[in-house]
């Protein structure tokens, strides 16, 4: 009888665990909103002339300043650890906000990286220092831009233009952005969080499609 009981427990436990998690409301799989509304960027001019907006897109937003040669490592880290894995997802974009005087440098920068990265997927936007500061301030983070309008931290913005991050991170408490200088942080924290927000939207889309099918 004892053996039968043990076998029964071992057989039943995975099933019970599966039913427990599958019946949940998926609260554990949502990336927290840390700032409800980030300033829109749709009025800013892009390198290619295309219109770029935060709304209706999942955006990785970077502020890489005027000295692009100094941030090659940051950009390469982001490209390899994040963009390379997710650039094919619909509505996913990588936006780099730069000062107006960096326009020519940005084109050269993207061309230089094209052989080793998905630089064609980068969306460069240009603005005055004041406009860049306003967008950065709207994130509500504890970080600061330097004199070149640069920050090593990059941010996840959802389709409602809300900043997503962590409210109970084991290292930082509230995590507003991810340090592009750190491969470990990008590969562990940011990669995990991008997976979560993409899964979140896929779930919403699936529920919407199922609802449409039922109506038909």
Long-range CB contact pairs, 198-205, < 8 A, 24+ = 198/58, 198/86, 198/89, 198/92, 199/29, 200/26, 200/29, 200/30, 200/31, 201/58, 201/91, 201/159, 203/26, 203/29
What is the per-residue pLDDT across 103-113, written as a single tens digit (0 to 9) for each?
989 989 888 88
Q: Mean per-residue pLDDT for 12-28?
A: 41
- Is 100 within 8 Å of 67 (Cβ atoms)? no
State the pLDDT confidence band at 208, using cuts at 50, 70 and 90. low
Q: Is pLDDT at 14 greater than 70 in this prediction?
A: no
What is the per-residue pLDDT across 35-44, written as a single tens digit (0 to 9) for each?
999 999 999 9
- Is 116 within 8 Å of 134 (Cβ atoms)? no
- Residue 27 is predicted with a pLDDT of 39
Among the residue ranges 8-17, 74-83, 131-140, the one predicted with the least confidence is 8-17
% of the chain residues with pLDDT over 70: 81
State the pLDDT confidence band at 196, using cuts at 50, 70 and 90. very high
The SS3 assignment for 158 reads coil
In words, the CATH class of domain 28-215 is alpha beta
Among the residue ranges 69-73, 170-174, 207-211, the one predicted with the least confidence is 207-211
Q: Is pLDDT at 9 greater than 70 in this prediction?
A: no
- Residue 19 is predicted with a pLDDT of 37
State the pLDDT confidence band at 3, using cuts at 50, 70 and 90. low
- Residue 124 is predicted with a pLDDT of 95
* Domains of the chain by residue range: 28-215
Between 215 and 88, the higher pLDDT residue = 88
pTM: 0.82
CA dihedral 187, 191, 193, 195 (to 10 degrees): -150
CA dihedral 103, 120, 85, 140 (to 10 degrees): 20
- Residue 125 is predicted with a pLDDT of 97
- Residue 117 is predicted with a pLDDT of 86
- Distance between CA atoms of residues 198 and 91, nearest Å: 10
């Amino acid at each position: 009888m004892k053996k039968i009981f043990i076998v029964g427990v071992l057989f039943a436990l995975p099933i019970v665990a599966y039913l427990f998690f599958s019946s949940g409301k998926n609260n554990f799989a949502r990336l927290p909103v840390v700032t409800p509304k980030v300033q829109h960027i749709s009025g800013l001019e892009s390198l290619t002339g295309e219109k770029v907006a935060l709304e209706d897109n999942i955006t990785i937003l970077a502020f890489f300043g005027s000295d692009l040669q100094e941030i090659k490592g940051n950009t390469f880290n982001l490209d390899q650890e994040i963009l390379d894995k997710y650039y094919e997802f619909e509505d996913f974009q990588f936006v780099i906000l730069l000062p107006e005087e960096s326009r020519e440098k940005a084109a050269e920068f993207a061309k230089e990286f094209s052989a080793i990265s998905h630089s064609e997927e980068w969306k460069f936007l240009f603005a005055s220092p004041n406009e860049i500061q306003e967008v950065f301030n709207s994130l509500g983070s504890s970080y600061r831009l330097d004199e070149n309008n640069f920050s090593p931290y990059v941010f996840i913005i959802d389709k409602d233009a809300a900043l997503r991050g962590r409210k109970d991170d084991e290292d930082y408490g509230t995590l507003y952005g991810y340090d592009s200088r750190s491969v470990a942080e990008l590969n562990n924290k940011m990669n995990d969080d991008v997976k979560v927000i993409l899964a979140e939207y896929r779930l919403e889309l699936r529920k919407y499609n199922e609802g449409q099918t039922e109506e038909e």
